[in-house]
Amino acid sequence: MKICSLLICVTILSLSASPFALAETGDAGKPAKLSNAEIAARDKKCSVEADAKGLFKSLGKGEERRKFREECKKRN
């Protein structure tokens, strides 16, 4: 009788604890947050690429440059 009630208790505890175990692993799919240095390097790279394409603000292409850099940041 004691073994049977012990098995029932273990089963109930294992079933009740499983949602908590799943909740802890929910953040595994999120990308790591970039440091300030990594963000600055990414921004610089995108600016250099925009310059290479000839997208300069002084030539009236500021909006195109902004869109290009925005897309570049999302890719990298």
pLDDT, tens digit, 9 for 90 and up, residues 31-48: 689 899 999 999 999 999
55, 64 contact by CB (below 8 A):
yes
Q: Where in the sequence is the domain holding 66, given as residue range(s)?
A: 2-25+32-75
Write out the two tokens for 62.
């500021």
**DSSP assignment letter at 31:** P
The stretch 14-31 carries a mean pLDDT of: 58
7, 33 contact by CB (below 8 A):
no
Write out the two tokens for 63.
């909006």
Give the pLDDT score at 18: 55
The stretch 54-72 carries a mean pLDDT of: 90
**For the chain, how many structural domains are there in total?**
1
d(CA 48, CA 34) in angstroms, rounded, equals 20
The CB density around residue 28, as the number of other CB atoms within 10 Å, is 6
Give the pLDDT score at 32: 80
